[in-house]
Structure 1
Amino acid sequence: MLEKIKKIFRSTTSRNGSYSVGMIVLVIGIAVVVNMIAGQIPESYRNIDVSDNKIYEITDTSREMLKSLDKEIKFTVFAEKDSTDERIQTFLKKYTGLSDKIEVEWVDPVLHPSELTENNMEADGILISCEETGKSTSVTFDDILVTDEYSYYMTGSSSPTEFDGEGQFTSAINFVASGETKKLYYTSGHGEQTFSSSVTELLEKNNIEGEEVNLLMTNEIPEDCELLMLYAPTADISEEEKERILSYMSEGGKVFIILGEMEGDAPNLDALLNEYGMQREEGYIADMQRNYQGNYYYIFPEITATGELAEGLSSDMVLLVNAHGLTMTDAARDTISVTEFMQTSSQAYAVTEETQEEGTYTLGAVATETISSEEEDAEDESSDSEEETKESRLTVVSSDSLIDSQLTDNLATLENLDLFMNAVTSNFDDTQNVAIEAKSLEITYNTMKHTGVTGMVAIVGIPALVLLFGFMKWWKRRKA
């Protein structure tokens, strides 16, 4: 019996079987080791984004903010982990894995309902908090997976159309870590436009609180005003309002004017612009060189912005429609400096019913002035007074189409809102634009646009090579 067993193990079949078993064990061992090593790789590098429209892709803005984070942040997720949408789980891991300052804790609201009451939260929400600043805010799953409400009323059903994980998280961390809210006042009483929901959302993501102010009803611009905005007034401001704005700027105030369609002359607004070296031109601007598919009044401006204004702009795809132009003039004081950040090509025209004036026109500019004032040291009256400097700033965009929702909401590749938010946040000290737009969840179909050589190779060539190789192998074995 023993000899028979030895013969079995000495046979070719037995040796081949032993070899196969050994190779299987070796492969399994290698797979276990590779998985153990892979498990130690940080989550941010372990997940490769193969999603449609790159919903898990994290911008440089968020990466830089997370890299410089110096405060401990806690994400408390009030949800059943197993039933949470996989997209939210995946993005949460990838995002929080970019910083060792972020702690994530899952709390099951079914097992611990009292936690919801104690933290004033509802199920399917994330509480983002910072113990050092004492600030906290919440992000619901509905804020991340945004549903089109109109489709529900039209069809009776709805599904998520946008993914806003990065925008919500980055805005929340920026808020709880800084603990500061900026104040913007927008004027009324001159036929001004109102912000679209897209603009309002971006302002909120940057922790900028907007409030209306009527300068004719107030004796002065509010003390907490950090930026005063005139959004496409259709009527001129009064002489009194002009003087009030100039007085505000003389103390280091910041003003942002977006020009629109004016009804009649605007001598007071023009005087305000002229004070800071800008002059409105009559007519619409047509650009023969930088336009959209031969539509001369649809202009792609030359973006010459630098520093904070250029932050995050990658393609310079900014589109303006029916824009008016500005020309630079001598400012009222030598202390005022004007920098253009958006202009036409040299082949542009200011077109009215009677004339066509050729030239290069400014479409966006910033005027700054350093304001010096002396303050006495209250503790020591005999000491010398100290000089305090402030910077007043006037930002002017010559077309309200920069933030027109008909452009920005329908043409996702445009960087209009990025440039606008950069122009807004550059008015605040130690603030950068961290507002990130939501990503579309609409399906992108992979279609063959050009059925030429590439299509023939993929459809016919590769299968033919595989068949030829197989036939050659078969023929060789048949002859052997």
Structure 2
Amino acid sequence: MKIKSIKLEKGRRQTKHGSYSLMLTAIVVAAAVVVNLIVSELPSKYTQIDLTSAQLSVLTEQSEELLDSLTEDITIYYVVQDENRDTNVSRLLERYEGASGHIKVVEKDPVRYPKFTSQYTDESLTENSVIIECGGQSRIINYEDMYESEFNYNYYSYETTGFDAEGQITSAIAALSSGSLPKIYTLTGHNEATVGTSLQSSIEKENVQTEELNLISEERVPEDADAVMILSPQQDLTDAEAQKLLNYLRTGGRAVIVTDYSTEEMPNLESVLEYYGMEKAEGVVLESDNGHYVQVPYYLLPTIESTEVSEDLTGGGSYVLVAAAQGLQLSENTRDGLTVTSVLTTSDNSYSKTDVENMKTYAQEDGDIDGPFSIGALATETVELTEELLAETAEVSEDVSLDTVLDGLEIEEEEADTDADSGTDAESGTDTASDDADAESSADTDSETDTESGAEDEDAEDDTETAETRIAVFTSSSLLDESANQMVSGGNYRLFVNTISWLCGNETTVSIPAKSMSTEYLTVPAASASFWSILVIGVIPGGFLIAGLYTWLRRRRQ
């Protein structure tokens, strides 16, 4: 009887423990399921770690800022079969979707939906391509354009060097969400330099349209121009072209002007620069400070000043390389409203070689001009778009030279200064005669008249629209050279694209460089290799052996 009761009691305990174990297992499984469900809903940046050196699937700060500012819904169609998925592209799209509630990624299998892409393009798309849609507009990014490649002459084959998916996707999102795109006209007709493929790609990723402009055939700079680009002309502008350019700039136009040293005289272009407080020094700038040049004294590494176009390049970690640049001397006495600031400056030990054609030494000689110089500068001017100014700049007279126009403008400025001075003198005279009763009465009358006139002027000023002229000048086209840009890890292009963005009024740049996928090798000197070999093969194992032997002896004695 006792044995039977003991067995029953034992069975109850086993059943009770089994129920507890089953319940605990169910709770653990349920908790694991809930945790997995919660984690699956978290953005991929919290659940995935990108261990690649280039952070291929990690969004840059520019992309995150853009995604945070989105107000419209954007759909990204990912054209791919599951078994052909590119991991880099797939993970990057997950990051986009997790970074903004306005982004939705939809996968489209080209086998199941063979006619889907025909809604957006007549061309066939490679798998892993992306279609971005917003408000009835769309942009297509072909998979073949997401990777950059170069020909390796050592192995006579192409190798992948960069991953540009983020740059192109972010650029497309910015373009679709902004609506209209700014347009820059590139001046032609003077054997200007051309923009290389890489720089053109960076400008396009900034969502800027480019179009050629011939001011000989056009009556004026087009009204839809956000800026004009003049890239190292080899011949001077005609009087009519220079007047058209000046008229555009005087009414709030914007331009980036890149020049080069040349034996060809260009008085018209230089006159436009001088009107905005920048005068070119004769010759080519050389450096005697070896911290401001590389290889030869005219391969300059100028100091980068903190400006609206160069702020992200300051701090000592970035460089700009320009070769054979001319010096700019900035005017200290500019007219009211005009501000001229330096972007790139040479050191105090720089100088300009004036006799470039017969130069036999890099050393400074008699007749050379002492530095420092600006070799990149910005000019800004707030202008009132009065009826007189608009009428004055509406037409160009073919019979009037640019010098005549500039002389007229100089006379107008002098007269304005004279009127301002005489106005000050009149006020001073009125104050002196205030003790005389008749003069006091007259002054009161004049004061009332002036008050009424001033009120009318203020009302007129309130109705007058204002605009801001913006000009950027760089004195070497090597700023646009791809090899020079590579020597400074992209610093040249970043400065130029920042300048384009500033001219177009963009607050931030969305041109993201391709992420490098080039193979990087760790070079270990022979002495270091020997040290690490001894440490890893001898010292560390020996230390563990000694520690183990010591522990064994100590325990044995106890």
Measured at CA, do residues 293 and 278 of structure 1 come closer, stay the same or move farther in structure 2, by a change above 3 Å? closer
- Alignment partners' CA distance in 2, 1:28 and 1:452: 50
Tell me if structure 1 keeps the 8 A contact 2:261–2:283. no
Q: What's the offset of the Cα at 1:164?
A: 0.4
Of residues 339, 347, 372, the one that matches 1:345 is: 347
Q: Cα distance, 1:37 vs. partner?
A: 6.1
- Name the stretch that deviates more: 93-102 or 447-456: 447-456
2:547 to 459, 469, 475: 469
Deviation at 1:426, TM superposition (A): 0.4
User: What TM-score do you get using the length of structure 2 for normalisation?
Assistant: 0.73
Deviates more, 1:443-452 or 1:90-99: 443-452
Contact 2:286 2:300 in 1 (8 A): yes
- Segment drifting more, 456-465 vs 218-227: 456-465
Question: Are residue 89 (structure 1) and residue 90 (structure 2) matched?
Answer: yes
* Distance change >3 Å, CA 433–CA 184, structure 1 → 2: same
SS at match of 2:298: strand
Q: Is the 8 A contact 2:57 2:89 kept in 1?
A: no
In structure 2, the CA distance between the partners of 1:415 and 1:459, relative to structure 1 (3 Å rule), is: farther
Q: Distance in 1 between matches of 2:40 and 2:552?
A: 43
Alpha-carbon distance in structure 1 between the residues aligned to 2:550 and 2:111: 64
1:369 aligned partner, one-letter code: E
Counterpart secondary structure, 1:338: strand
**CA distance 1:400–1:112, change in 2 (3 Å):** same
Within 5 Å, give how 1:37-48 maps onto structure 2: 38-48=39-49
Q: Which residue number corresponds to residue 369 of structure 1?
A: 381
Kindly provide the amino acid, as one letter, of the partner of residue 365 in structure 1.
Answer: A
Partner of 1:393: 470
**Cα offset for 1:33?**
8.0
Partner of 1:209: 209
- The 3 A distance-change label for structure 1 pair 54 and 181 is same
Matches within 5 A, 1:91-170: 91-120=92-121, 122-124=125-127, 125-131=129-135, 134-148=136-150, 150=151, 155=156, 157-170=157-170
Residues 1:317 and 2:395 are matched in the alignment: no
The equivalent residue for 2:452 is: none
- Who is 1:359 aligned against? 371
> Judging changes above 3 Å, is the alpha-carbon distance between structure 1 residues 284 and 29 closer, same or farther for their aligned structure 2 residues?
farther
Q: Secondary structure at the match of 2:63?
A: helix
Structure 1 residues 478, 342: closer, same or farther in 2, change over 3 A?
same
Post-superposition Cα deviations, 1:336-377, rounded to whole Å, max 9, x if no partner, equal: 1111111112221112346332221101111111111247xx
Shift of 1:311: 4.1
Shift of 1:390: 0.5
Q: Does the 8 A contact of 1:193 with 1:233 survive in 2?
A: yes
Which residue of structure 2 aligns with residue 67 of structure 1? 68
Aligned counterparts of 2:203 and 2:546: Cα–Cα separation in 1: 62
Between stretches 26-35 and 318-327, larger displacement belongs to 26-35
Helix, strand or coil at the partner of 2:351: strand
Q: C-alpha displacement at 1:103, in angstroms?
A: 0.4
> CA 1:454/1:411 → structure 2, altered by over 3 Å: closer, same or farther?
farther
SS at match of 2:274: helix
Q: Which amino acid aligns with 1:363?
A: I
C-alpha separation in 1, matches of 2:27 and 2:125: 50
Shift of 1:388: 0.4
User: CA–CA distance in 2 between the matches of 1:107 and 1:469?
Assistant: 61
Q: Corresponding residue for 2:21?
A: none
Letter in structure 1 aligned against 2:483? Q
Which has the larger displacement, 48-57 or 450-459?
450-459
Is the 1:320–1:399 contact (alpha carbons within 8 Å) kept by the matching residues of 2?
yes
Distance in 2 (CA, whole Å) between partners of 1:463 and 1:284 is 64
| Letter aligned with residue 128 of structure 1 | I
Q: Deviations over 1:268-325 (max 9, x none)?
A: 1211111111111122222215324563222221111333542476623212222221
For 1:211-250, what aligned pairs fall within 5 Å after superposition?
A: 211-250=211-250
Residue pair 2:230, 2:257 contacting (<8 A) in 1 also = yes
Alignment CA distance shift 1:45-1:285 (3 Å)? farther
Distance apart, 1:332 and its partner CA: 6.3
Q: Residue 95 of structure 1: CA displacement?
A: 3.3
Q: Displacement of 1:48 after TM fit?
A: 2.1
User: Matched residue pairs, number?
Assistant: 451
Residue 271 (structure 2) aligns with? 271
Letter of the structure 2 residue corresponding to residue 367 of structure 1: A
Q: Distance in 1 between matches of 2:305 and 2:504?
A: 21
Higher Rg: 2
Q: Could you tell me which amino acid in structure 2 is paired with residue 448 of structure 1?
A: V
SS at the partner of 1:217? coil
Identical aligned pairs, as a percentage? 31
- Separation of aligned partners in 2, 1:290 and 1:112: 60
- Contact persistence 2:321–2:492 (CA under 8 A): yes
Q: How far apart in 1 are the matches of 2:177 and 2:537?
A: 55
On the 8 A contact 2:352/2:369 being kept in 1, the answer is: yes
Equivalent residue runs for 1:250-289 within 5 Å: 250-287=250-287, 288-289=289-290
Q: Distance in 2 between matches of 1:311 and 1:270?
A: 30
Paired with 1:459 and 1:177, the residues of 2 have a C-alpha distance of 59
Greater CA deviation, 350-359 or 423-432? 350-359
1:19 equivalent in structure 2: none
Letter of the 2:185 counterpart: Y
| Distance in 2 of aligned mates of 1:446 and 1:72 | 45
Note the aligned Cα RMSD (angstroms).
3.3
Larger RCO: 1 or 2 (CA < 8 Å, sep 6+): 2
- Is the alpha carbon distance of 1:114 and 1:312 closer, same or farther for their aligned partners in structure 2, counting shifts above 3 Å? farther
Residue 16 (structure 1) aligns with: none
CA distance in 2, matches of 1:68, 1:308: 22
- Whichever residue aligns with residue 464 of structure 2, its letter is E
Is the Cα–Cα contact under 8 Å of residues 343 and 363 in structure 1 kept in the other structure?
Answer: yes
CA distance in 1, matches of 2:132, 2:33: 36
Confirm or deny: 8 A CA contact 2:185 2:213 kept in the other structure.
yes
Letter in 1 for 2:476: S
Q: Secondary structure of 1:185's match?
A: strand
What is the letter of the counterpart of residue 144 of structure 1?
Answer: M
Aligned mates of 1:304, 1:169 — CA distance in 2: 32
Between the aligned partners of 1:266 and 1:119, the Cα distance in structure 2 is: 49
What per-residue deviation string (whole Å, max 9, x for no partner) do you get for residues 401-421 of structure 1?
A: 11211212x336241111111
Question: Residue in 2 aligned with 1:406?
Answer: 483
* Aligned mates of 2:291, 2:245 — CA distance in 1: 35
Q: For 1:275 and 1:454, how far apart are their aligned partners in 2?
A: 66
Q: Which deviates more from structure 2 when the two are superposed, residues 284-293 or residues 197-206?
A: 284-293
Distance change >3 Å, CA 167–CA 313, structure 1 → 2: farther
Unaligned runs of 5+ residues in structure 1 are 10-23, 376-382
Structure (1 or 2) with the greater strand fraction? 1
Matched with 1:197 is 197
Superposition deviation, residue 93 in structure 1: 1.6
**Residues 22-33 of structure 1 aligned to structure 2 (within 5 Å):** none
Structure 2: tracts of 5 or more residues without a match: 11-24, 360-364, 388-458
1:468 alignment partner AA? I
Closer, same or farther in 2 for the Cα pair 1:298/1:137, shift >3 Å? same
